[in-house]
Amino acid sequence: MLLGFIYWQTATEMTRRVDLILTLEETRFNQVSPDTLSDEIDKSVQRDHRHVYFYGLFSSDGRLIAGNIPRLPPGMPVDGHIHGTTLSATNLASQSMPARALAIRQGSGSILLIGHDVQQFTEFGEVMRSAFFWGGSLTILLGLVFGLLLSFGPLRRVEQIQQVCELIMHGNMKQRLPVSGRHDELDMLAVIVNKVLDEVDRLMSEVKSVGDNIAHDLRTPLTRLRALLYRMQQQLGDSPHHAMMGQVIAEVDSLLLRFRALLRISEIENKQRRAGFKLIQLPEILAQAVNFLEPLAENKSIKLSMVAESVDPINGDGELLFEVFVNVLDNAIKFTPEGGRVKVHLSSGPKGAQVDIVDSGAGIRENEKSAVLNRFYRGENDLQAPGFGLGLSIVMAIIRLHDFGFRLEDADPGTRATIYCWPQGV
């Protein structure tokens, strides 16, 4: 821009000066008498040691009378105004040069042409243009290089922040955003977010420990309650209250079942070490689970089928994974109407083994997907089906312990549950 402006300014100024010189020359020749005009022109040509002037006096039929221009340039208007053109001079190498020139008709009918070489401007323009091109290119190139270098730093940090946030979203609440120590905007933001995370983590563990303590403290009283009720029932003998007490005990048993499930979730979630992990054969465990639930499917005339590709052994807790498969399969069978089908497919992908369990039931509504994984949640479609809604929460706890992935999606029709048996990086 700047170079362009300088070039434009300079060119304009130089052209103005040349034009002024040409006007002065015209005035000078006007004051010379027509008889001595050709002599004066010849003198002027001789005086011009720098060979920048063009003079020419032509007869009305275009023949050169005096000067250094062999002929009138074609298309040159004879109007006394200055125009840009190309001229060649006899006393110079015969090449044409860019020039400013004016042509004017004399009283005798002859034509006087005065011109000035502007080759220098053109050269200057060339220099400016090339400076403009190289300077501009270099500026853009350097700008790009430095811009990229400068933006890589923050971009890398944003990427780091993104990765950490994903870990946190997956439940790894101990992760914190990286702080570079440069005290810039990103650092300020990271520090604030980290403070918020500290507080959330503190509140969460407080709630969790309160919950765990309550659960733990309830074990003994619940055992006592169950025992006392049972004892009372034993002593009632044939009394009419015996049956009613049986109902009360059944209710307490169902309470205990849920309670134990809650305790199990908390136990699995608290289980940090994976000492119980060993190499396990997925097809074997999956076949066991299918075999275990097959009669349940048969009772509902549901076709339960399994296809298992060969997969590498995986590191995990076989007992817990069996529980996962039983839970997911049990759910699939539960939510599939009589005469439907449930397909189990173990496949081997580039990252590892994956288990798909697809049923022909009612499916899961989009807005229920994440809710079904929460403790106690039961879908609206299955209010009649038995179950405590805790099954999938246990599944999620076990999946998280293994760092596996779990996904529920609508299979249209039915539901597809997928268990990804490879580390998800959480």
Chain residues in the site for another protein (CB under 8 A): 216, 219-220, 222-224, 226-228, 230-231, 234, 246, 249-250, 253, 256-257, 259-261, 263-264, 267, 271, 275-276, 288, 291-293, 295-296, 298-299, 317, 319-320, 322-323, 326-327, 330, 334, 386-388, 391
Nearer to another protein, 99 or 297 (CB): 297
- The nearest distance, CB 392 to another protein, in angstroms, is 12
Helix 318-334 / helix 391-402 crossing angle, nearest 10 deg:
140
Nearer to another protein, 264 or 369 (CB): 264
Residue 45: name the closest of 30, 27, 25 by CA: 25
- The nearest distance, CB 299 to another protein, in angstroms, is 6
Tell me how crowded residue 76 is: count the other CB atoms within 10 A of its CB.
Answer: 17
Nearer to another protein, 3 or 225 (CB): 225
- The nearest distance, CB 256 to another protein, in angstroms, is 5
String of DSSP letters for 73-134: PTT---SS-EEEEEE--TTS-S--EEEEEEEEE-TTS-EEEEEEE-HHHHHHHHHHHHHHHH
Nearer to another protein, 138 or 250 (CB): 250
Tell me how crowded residue 371 is: count the other CB atoms within 10 A of its CB.
Answer: 12
Structure tokens, 280: 């396990």
Nearer to another protein, 132 or 259 (CB): 259
Rounded to whole angstroms, the Cα distance separating 338 from 303 reads 10
Nearer to another protein, 11 or 256 (CB): 256
Nearer to another protein, 101 or 394 (CB): 394
Secondary structure class of 71 (helix, strand, coil):
coil
Residues 6+ apart with CB under 8 A from 362: 335, 381, 382, 413, 414, 415
- The nearest distance, CB 387 to another protein, in angstroms, is 7
Nearer to another protein, 37 or 324 (CB): 324
- Please report, for residues 302, 303, 393, the alpha-carbon distance to residue 362 in angstroms, rounded to integers and kept in the order given: 14, 16, 21
- The nearest distance, CB 412 to another protein, in angstroms, is 27
- The nearest distance, CB 243 to another protein, in angstroms, is 11
Q: How far is CA 232 from the centre of its chain?
A: 67
Helix 2-31 / helix 37-47 crossing angle, nearest 10 deg:
140
Structure tokens, 171: 């439940």
- The nearest distance, CB 271 to another protein, in angstroms, is 7
C-alpha torsion sign, points 14, 15, 16, 18: positive
- The answer to whether 338 touches 345, Cβ cutoff 8 Å, is no
Nearer to another protein, 30 or 291 (CB): 291
- The nearest distance, CB 341 to another protein, in angstroms, is 18
Pairing of strands 303-308, 341-348: parallel
- The nearest distance, CB 356 to another protein, in angstroms, is 22
Match 């959330």 to its residue by tokens.
Answer: 200
**What are the backbone dihedrals phi and psi of residue 34, each rounded to the nearest 5 degrees, phi first?**
-55, -30
Nearer to another protein, 231 or 303 (CB): 231
Cis peptide bond prior to 221, omega within 30° of 0: no
Rounded to whole angstroms, the Cα distance separating 70 from 54 reads 10
- The nearest distance, CB 171 to another protein, in angstroms, is 20
Nearer to another protein, 11 or 222 (CB): 222
- The nearest distance, CB 146 to another protein, in angstroms, is 58
Tell me how crowded residue 346 is: count the other CB atoms within 10 A of its CB.
Answer: 23
